[in-house]
Amino acid sequence: MFDSLSERLSGIFDGLKRRGALKESDVSDALREVRVALLEADVALPVVKDFVSRVKDKAIGQSVLKSVTPGQQVIKIVHDELVAMLGAEASGINLLGVPPVVILMVGLQGSGKTTTTAKLAKRLTEKEGKKVMMASLDVRRPAAQEQLKVLGEQIGVKTLPIVAGQMPVDITRRAMDAARLQGFDVLMLDTAGRLHVDAELMAEVKAVRDASQPLETLLVADSLTGQDAVNVAKAFDGEVGITGVALTRMDGDGRGGAALSMRAVTGKPIKLAGFGEKMDALEDFHPERVASRILGMGDVVSLVEKAAATIEKEDAEKMAKKMAKGEFDLDDMRTQLRQMSKLGGVQSILGMLPGMGKIKQAMAGASIDDKVFRRQEAIINSMTPTERKKPQVLNASRKKRIAAGAGVEVSEVNKLLKAHMQMAKMMKQMSKMGKSGRMPMMPGAMPPGFDKFLP
Amino acid sequence: MSDTQKKSWFQRLKDGLKRSTGAISTGIGNIFTKRKLDDDTLEELEDLLITADLGVSVAGKLTKALAKGRYDKEIDEEEVKTVLAAEIEAMLAPVAKPLDVNKGHKPHVILMTGVNGAGKTTTIGKLAKQYRDAGKRVMMAAGDTFRAAAVEQLVVWGERAGVPVITKEIGSDAAALAFEAVERAIQEGVDVLLIDTAGRLQNRRELMDELAKVVRVIGKKLDGAPHDTVIVLDATTGQNALHQVEVFKEIAKLTGIVMTKLDGTARGGVLVACAEKFSLPVHAIGVGEGIEDLQPFSPRDFARMIVGLE
């Protein structure tokens, strides 16, 4: 979601990097562009001003301008400041309290509270082994309580039975009692969406807070929010007192300015990030990774983690063994193609790799998408096991049959075989390097110089 | 629900928009008591417009228009506001067009689209009630077959408005439901058919393809339908709204915009940028949760409220 911002910034920085020596005016010009880029990314104006002035103070110092690589120095300062603004380290959900620990979800209408409540409940249940109960206090939106109940059934998390006509504070008390009596570890309270300027409803949520004494009060906020993000975050923090922010719709193509602003104005960490409608599309928020992504330096750590979580361990071990021997047949290629799509497709992988922003753009322009990989898989699927093990047996008539089976032209089959040959060749080289003790260039390796900027 | 407290609609609009404009108008007041219109002042003014989500380019345009012939001259707050309001109104005037369901289509089909949480279902519910009160035969179709309890939400609106709602179970094909709804609406001689859709982010291609299919299928059943394909924009959304409109327009052939949630502090300035870039009609604005809080869009009021003029 940070693509557009990172594109803009990397353009600005390319200009800086090319220069040997930087004058003060060069830095000022670049920062003016940074300012516009951030504003267009919906970063709140006071936050932008503050950010730019801090970067300027540091960047115009003598040491930077006289250093050998002034452009890179400026980028490093921008990166460090971004991380500082987003919150230096990731902070998780606090569950250290006497059970039932209460998590209160608040926010504007339509920010995604109910969905986020269910996602977090699922995660706490499955990953942390907690016994979780959810209760909807939304007595305003038609069928809101019903929505949470249905989600609870989907994810296998208990919800407080709905009693028609009960008011939020009463529901809260009933939920507290039920959770205590039935031995729940965590009670999640989903509230109605409310405007931060609606005094009556803000009073209601305060009453709920007082009745439930939550350990976490999370402001659920849409990452597509504009300049108003500051007012919303300030008001909710001031009135209700929040402990953190959950950003939703991070899978959108917004530029993420709200993420930068909310943390900056409240000083409260962004704890969670929602990436889609599926119930497991909720991730921890890692400030330094997001900062790197914004600057187009990629998010290698996330990619590796994602890979570790999705790629079957057995597959990986089998693959590693084969790679060590320098073997790579079409079966292996198919496994890789499948893993790619499990990782969220090539676009999402490229987005996480350093310096790939531009390639990703070019690919989007040429409309290369995951369909290509599906087609390639279809071609491999149309082969016999023998053909997959020994591609050299493939003659013209076999290729024709395969093409017909996969519904493609023979030329596509040839293209795939060529790609496979190149990959096999690479594998062979890598296995040789591995034996000689030199580590091969892995996907996580960064272009020279960039490693300095990652923590 | 605030249905009980009856205020004139202008009062509601004003109340709704007043909170939206508080900050910017005090801001202008702070810059100008009476001072010279120089570069610094203009930059501050541009910044203020940016905080109303007008975007860097529209804000720049507006300040340039203000500076024309006034640069380096003494100017006071009132004049700045008046000039800005006039400029904004001029940009919005051509796009203010209420939804017209009296064009002789029977049924007149309106498809409601937008990203998640923008307020599609609520807007449909309000429109249904308004048309019903105007004596139309109305039908709604619960086309959000994805989100849990979205169907129930519309059914409640149906009861409130006294309007039948066509439903299918969660997970069914949205296009099939739309098709069936149009068929029923034709059979039963309905005047207005309002079709809800599931919220979708514009960068999710498979979901946008699904929406394109819904539009296609409706057109197959009834020539020329949907007669209006409306995007619901959340006023708190920033510059991303421009991209939302761009993509939905391309894929779902949008014919108009409704902006919701203007009763907060969000100023919805991105609507001005949208008007400038796409010239799509703006049909209505939402300034509250009550049925009567869905108001026709008045460029003059909107422009004056944005800069804080009474």
Which ipTM did the prediction report? 0.79
B7: number of Cβ within 10 Å: 13
Give me the CATH code for the B108-298 domain, please: 3.40.50.300
Backbone angles phi, psi at A109, to 5 degrees: -60, 140
Q: In whole angstroms, what is the distance from residue A188 CA to residue A122 CA?
A: 11
Six-digit token string for B7:
């205020």
Q: Are A142 and B152 a contacting pair at CB < 8 A?
A: yes
Which position has the higher pLDDT, A435 or B288? B288
Buried b (16+ CB within 10 A) or exposed e, A66-103: eeebbbbbbbbbbbbbbbbbbbeeebebeeeeeebbbb
Q: In whole angstroms, what is the distance from residue A446 CA to residue A452 CA?
A: 10
What is the distance in angstroms between the Cα of B125 and the nearest Cα belonging to chain A? 11
Q: pLDDT at residue B4 above 80?
A: no
Which H or E element spans position B283?
A: strand B282-286
Q: Which of A227, A277, A278, A360 to mutate: most B Cβ within 10 Å?
A: A227
Q: Which A positions 206-265 lie with beta carbon below 8 A of chain B?
A: 222, 224-229, 231-232, 235, 249, 251-255, 257-258
Residue A145, class by beta-carbon neighbours within 10 Å (0-12 exposed, 13-18 middle, 19+ buried)?
buried
Q: In whole angstroms, what is the distance from residue B104 CA to residue B246 CA?
A: 29
What is the distance in angstroms between the Cα of B260 and the nearest Cα belonging to chain A? 11
Rounded to 5 degrees, what angle do the CA atoms B79, B83, B86 make? 140
Closest CB from A141, A225, A251 relative to B153: A141
Per-residue pLDDT of chain A (455 residues; tens, 9 = 90+): 445 566 666 677 676 666 666 677 777 777 887 788 788 878 888 888 888 888 888 877 656 555 656 666 777 777 778 778 777 667 789 999 999 999 999 999 889 999 999 999 999 999 999 999 999 999 988 889 999 999 999 999 999 999 989 999 999 999 999 999 999 999 999 999 988 888 899 999 999 999 999 999 999 999 888 888 888 999 999 999 999 999 998 877 766 677 778 888 888 988 998 888 888 888 888 777 666 655 655 444 455 555 555 555 556 666 667 766 777 788 888 877 777 666 655 555 555 554 445 555 555 554 456 677 778 888 999 999 889 888 888 899 999 999 999 889 998 899 888 888 887 777 777 666 554 433 333 333 333 333 333 33
Numbered ranges of CATH 1.10.260.30 in chain A: 302-453
- Could you give the 3-state DSSP secondary structure of residue B228? strand
Helix axes of B299-307 and B77-92: crossing angle, nearest 10 degrees = 150
Q: Which of B231, B239, B271, B289 to mutate: most A Cβ within 10 Å?
A: B239
Residue extents of the structural domains in chain B: 10-95, 108-298
DSSP letter at B281 equals P
Q: In whole angstroms, what is the distance from residue A362 CA to residue A369 CA?
A: 11
Give the residue on B whose Cα is nearest the Cα of A41.
B239
Fold of A101-294: Rossmann fold (3.40.50)
Q: Are A226 and B149 a contacting pair at CB < 8 A?
A: no
Closest CB from A108, A147, A226 relative to B149: A147
pLDDT value of position A8: 66
pLDDT value of position A367: 47
- Could you give the 3-state DSSP secondary structure of residue B33? coil
pLDDT in tens, B141-171: 999 988 888 898 999 999 999 999 999 988 8
Chain A residues within 8 A of B290 when measuring between CB atoms: none
From A362, A68, A254, A259, select the one nearest B247 (Cα to Cα): A254
Chain A residues within 8 A of B264 when measuring between CB atoms: 108, 195-197, 228, 231-232
Chain B residues within 8 A of A220 when measuring between CB atoms: none
Q: In whole angstroms, what is the distance from residue A13 CA to residue A29 CA?
A: 11
pLDDT in tens, B22-40: 555 666 666 666 667 888 8
Contact A43, A257 (CB under 8 A): yes
Closest CB from B118, B122, B270 relative to A226: B270
Q: pLDDT at residue B295 above 80?
A: yes
Contact B109, A106 (CB under 8 A): no
Q: 3-state secondary structure string, A226-288?
A: CCCHHHHHHHHHHHCCCCEEEEECCCCCCCCHHHHHHHHHHCCCEEEEECCCCCCCEEECCHH
pLDDT value of position B97: 93
Edge to edge, the sheet with strand B138-141 lists B165-166, B138-141, B192-195, B108-113, B228-234, B256-260, B282-286, B294-296
Instruction: Note whether A141 contacts B: Cβ–Cβ < 8 A.
Output: yes
Find tokens 């006023």 and name the residue: B235
From A338, A422, A316, A308, select the one nearest A430 (Cα to Cα): A422
Q: Are B265 and A36 a contacting pair at CB < 8 A?
A: no
Q: Are B238 and A42 a contacting pair at CB < 8 A?
A: yes
Q: Are B265 and A227 a contacting pair at CB < 8 A?
A: no
Closest CB from A42, A45, A110 relative to B118: A110
CATH of A5-87, one of 3.20.20.370, 1.20.120.140, 1.20.120.80, 1.10.3720.10: 1.20.120.140
Q: pLDDT at residue B172 above 70?
A: yes
Q: pLDDT at residue B178 above 70?
A: yes
From A32, A57, A54, select the one nearest B46 (Cα to Cα): A32
Find tokens 């009556």 and name the residue: A200
Q: Return the number of CB contacts < 8 Å for A and B.
A: 141
What is the distance in angstroms between the Cα of A120 and the nearest Cα belonging to chain B? 16
Q: Are A251 and B201 a contacting pair at CB < 8 A?
A: yes
What is the distance in angstroms between the Cα of B290 and the nearest Cα belonging to chain A? 11
pLDDT in tens, B100-124: 999 989 899 999 999 998 999 999 9
Confidence of residue B262 (pLDDT cuts 50, 70, 90): confident
Q: Which A positions 41-70 lie with beta carbon below 8 A of chain B?
A: 41-42, 44-45
Fold of A302-453: 434 Repressor (Amino-terminal Domain) (1.10.260)
From B207, B206, B194, select the one nearest B115 (Cα to Cα): B207
Q: What is the dihedral of CA A345, A348, A353, A355, to 10 degrees?
A: 110
**Class (C level, CATH) for B10-95:** mainly alpha
Q: Are B202 and A253 a contacting pair at CB < 8 A?
A: yes
Contact B181, B156 (CB under 8 A): no
Percent of chain B clearing pLDDT 70 (strictly above): 88
From A208, A209, A287, select the one nearest A247 (Cα to Cα): A287
DSSP letter at B69 equals T
Q: Are A39 and B50 a contacting pair at CB < 8 A?
A: yes
Q: In whole angstroms, what is the distance from residue A300 CA to residue A293 CA?
A: 9
pLDDT value of position A451: 36
Backbone angles phi, psi at A194, to 5 degrees: -145, 150
Chain A residues within 8 A of B43 when measuring between CB atoms: none
pLDDT value of position A448: 34
Closest CB from A147, A148, A254 relative to B240: A254
| Pairing, β A186-190 against β A132-136 | parallel
What is the distance in angstroms between the Cα of A117 and the nearest Cα belonging to chain B? 13
pLDDT value of position B6: 47
Chain B residues within 8 A of A36 when measuring between CB atoms: 56
pLDDT value of position B49: 87
pLDDT in tens, B60-75: 999 999 888 888 888 8
Q: In whole angstroms, what is the distance from residue B1 CA to residue B70 CA?
A: 48
Q: Are B264 and A228 a contacting pair at CB < 8 A?
A: yes
Residues 6+ apart with CB under 8 A from B103: B227
